[in-house]
Amino acid sequence: MSSKNRKALVVDANLSFGSSDPMYNPMSAAAGDMNRRCLDAIWDEGHDAVFNRQLRREWRDHASRSAKTWLQRMDMKERIVEEEGRAFSGLLAPACGCQKTDSHKADLEKDFHLVQSALASGQTILSNETNFPRFVASACPTISELALLYYANPAVEGDACILWIKAGAEKEADRRIDMWVENHLKSG
């Protein structure tokens, strides 16, 4: 892939600690194997990975051996984008104000660093979370910037997520975070 077609993807730490060590079956639909195939697809297609300090810490604390190797290779090839997204920190309070419970607010706050880094870079988040995109989607009608986010989830989508990465990780309408939630998650 040419550098002009490379995408910047915020890669949540939950893909790092589930990436199949030591037994890896590239044909398996098991969560760890799927995560590792996603990381491999990002590498193979030349995409960049976006990190902030908190996400780096989560990767350092929880990554499998293969995920740590992947991250080292990405670093060596200068395919890591460091982006804190501080310009978007002011969206946290209004986004939390859109949540129904204190528990939802706390959960959104815990992962809001992903939103900030995504908005400041390629606007795309790759994660296995299902509650997090619901919380962000619930705030989209109130906070228009959040509707600029796109989402992919290998745990929910399986091979379709990997194929999307390999096809260029384009910002398709059905990947916009609110549409993704509507299309992939039952309400609740």
pLDDT bracket for residue 94 (50, 70, 90)? very high
Q: What distance in Å separates the CA atoms of residue 41 and residue 77, rounded to the nearest whole number?
A: 15
Q: What distance in Å separates the CA atoms of residue 31 and residue 20, rounded to the nearest whole number?
A: 8
- Strands (DSSP E) contained in the chain are 8-11, 48-51, 80-82, 124-126, 150-152
| Average pLDDT value over all residues in the chain | 91
Q: What distance in Å separates the CA atoms of residue 4 and residue 92, rounded to the nearest whole number?
A: 31
Look at residue 12 in the predicted model and tell me its pLDDT. Answer: 97
Domain range for 121: 3-184
The token duo for 159 is 């091979």
Percent with pLDDT over 90 in the chain: 81
Q: Please determine, for residue 69, whether its predicted confidence score (pLDDT) is greater than 90.
A: yes
What separation, in Å, do the N-terminal and C-terminal C-alpha atoms of the chain show? 39
pLDDT bracket for residue 19 (50, 70, 90)? low
Look at residue 151 in the predicted model and tell me its pLDDT. Answer: 98
Q: What distance in Å separates the CA atoms of residue 88 and residue 120, rounded to the nearest whole number?
A: 8
Look at residue 79 in the predicted model and tell me its pLDDT. Answer: 98
Q: Please determine, for residue 149, whether its predicted confidence score (pLDDT) is greater than 80.
A: yes
Q: What distance in Å separates the CA atoms of residue 10 and residue 116, rounded to the nearest whole number?
A: 10
Number of H helices, E strands in the chain: 9, 5
81 or 1, greater pLDDT: 81
Q: Please determine, for residue 173, whether its predicted confidence score (pLDDT) is greater than 90.
A: yes
In this prediction, residues 65-88 reach a mean pLDDT of 96
In this prediction, residues 33-40 reach a mean pLDDT of 89
- Total count of domains within the chain: 1
In this prediction, residues 61-86 reach a mean pLDDT of 94
Look at residue 142 in the predicted model and tell me its pLDDT. Answer: 97
The H or E element that residue 106 is part of is helix 102-119
Task: Please state the length of the chain.
Answer: 188
Q: Please determine, for residue 18, whether its predicted confidence score (pLDDT) is greater than 90.
A: no
Look at residue 34 in the predicted model and tell me its pLDDT. Answer: 83
**pTM here?**
0.92
Look at residue 3 in the predicted model and tell me its pLDDT. Answer: 60
The token duo for 72 is 């080292």
